[in-house]
Amino acid sequence: MKLNKLTPVEESVIIKKGTEPAYTGKYENFFQNGIYVCRQCGASLYKSASKFHSGCGWPSFDDEIAGSVARQADKDGIRTEILCSVCGGHLGHVFEGEGFTPKNSRHCVNSVSLDFIPEQKK
């Protein structure tokens, strides 16, 4: 598997499981049509239709592309960490039962963990 070269900031989040500061990510208030992919390996993760504004300071999605996101207990023992199912890169955390959308799920994702591929105009 070919992995993209990461900046030190990207590495601190994707590899070392850090978090970018709230309200600083380039995709927090970004709402174009397309696909969000893993910054490290390029695997498709989220469709733009699943993105919503939660006000939490990070991009939020209520659904992933089937099979693209793995979940595991976070080291804090409270939250559920989400990872790219292809390369294992840290994406953020998922929260259930908050009522933001009918799917009742919020994937809180670091912008630096993502790249965006715009929908092709026909």
| 19 Cβ contact partners less than 8 Å away, ≥ 6 residues apart | 13, 92, 110
Assigned architecture for domain 8-118? Beta Complex (2.170)
Question: By 3-state DSSP, what share of the chain in percent is helix, strand and coil, each rounded to 5?
Answer: 10, 35, 55
pLDDT at 24 over 60: yes
5-16 pLDDT per residue, tens: 999 999 999 999
Q: What's the pLDDT score for residue 121?
A: 66
Give Cβ neighbours of residue 8 (< 8 Å, ≥ 6 apart).
Answer: none
More confident residue, 76 or 3: 3
pTM: 0.94
Spans of all domains in the chain = 8-118
Q: Mean of the pLDDT values across residues 59-76?
A: 96
Burial of 97 (0-12, 13-18, 19+ CB in 10 A): exposed
> Which residues are designated catalytic?
108
